[in-house]
Amino acid sequence: MLPRFVAQLEYAKEAEIDFIITPWVPLPEEPAMEDVKHLVDVLTNCAEKAQEMGMKYGFHNHEDEFKLIEGKTVLDHLMEQVPKELMTLELNLGWVHMAGYEPEVYIHKYKDRITMIHARDFNHGRKDTEIGRGKVGYDKLIQTADSAGIRYIFAEQEQFAVSSFESAQNNYDYFRKLGYVQ
C-alpha cells in the first residue's frame, strides 16, 4: 500500500469523511487485459484499506474507461472484478456520453453500486457547459438517477462562457428548478 494513500486515509478519517474516491487512473492509449488486472489489484487494495479504516471507497470514471478490451469496456471489467462490497462507482454521466454510450443504461446497469454521480454537460465537441444546456440530456437523467436511489449529484464544469460564479449559479438554478435544492 502506498504510504501516501494511507496518509490520505488517515487525514480523511480524522476529518470524518465517509467516502474516498479515486478520481482518475492512468490507462495506456490501447489498454490490455493486463492493465485491467493491475487496476483491479490496485483498486481492491485501496478499497480494502479504506474499509479497514471505516470508510467507503469509490471510483470515478472518465472517457478512457470506455475503451474496449475483449469486447467489454474497461469500466465493465473493473465493476465485474472489484467486489461490489468494496467499491462504489461515482459515475460521471458526461464522460459516459462523450464515450458514445447512454448514461441511462449505465445508471440502470450499476444502480446497486452508484452512490453518487457527476453531472457534466457538453455542448459543442468537448466543450462543457452548464448542466441542462448541453447534449447529455440531464432532464431525464436526473430523474433516472433519483429513481435509482442515487444519493449525491455533483455538478462539474471546467470551461465557462461566463464567469465561473455565474455558471455555478446557473447550475444551482437548474437543480432548483427540478426540485433538488431549495
Q: Is 149 among the domain residues?
A: yes
Contact 73, 66 (CB under 8 A): yes
Is 129 within a domain?
yes
pLDDT value for 80 = 98
**What pLDDT was estimated at residue 124?**
87
Whether 31 is in a domain gets the answer yes
77 located within any domain: yes
Q: Report pLDDT for 166.
A: 97
Spatial distance between the Cα atoms of 86 and 55, rounded to a whole number of angstroms:
10
Between CA 22 and CA 60 the distance in angstroms is 6
Report if residue 9 sits inside a domain: no
User: Can you give the CATH number for the domain in which 94 is found?
Assistant: 3.20.20.150
Cell numbers 465561473 correspond to 164
User: Does some domain include residue 8?
Assistant: no
Q: What is the DSSP string of the chain?
A: --HHHHHHHHHHHHTT--EEEE------SS--HHHHHHHHHHHHHHHHHHHHTT-EEEEE--GGGG-EETTEEHHHHHHHHS-TTTEEEEEEHHHHHHTTS-HHHHHHHTTTTEEEEEE-EE-STT-EESTTSSSS-HHHHHHHHHHTT--EEEE-----SS-HHHHHHHHHHHHHHTTS--
Q: Give the pLDDT confidence score for residue 1 in this predicted structure.
A: 58
Number of domains observed in the structure of the chain: 1
Q: Cα(137)–Cα(52) distance, rounded to whole angstroms?
A: 38
Residue 12 lies inside a defined structural domain of this protein: no
Q: Encode the chain (182 residues) as per-residue pLDDT tens digits.
A: 578 999 999 999 999 999 999 999 999 999 999 999 999 999 999 999 999 999 999 999 999 999 999 999 999 999 999 999 999 999 999 999 999 999 999 999 999 999 999 999 999 889 999 999 999 999 999 999 999 999 899 999 999 999 999 999 999 999 999 988 87
Whether residue 87 lies inside any domain: the answer is yes
Structural domain harbouring 112:
18-45+55-177
Instruction: Give the pLDDT score at 180.
Output: 87
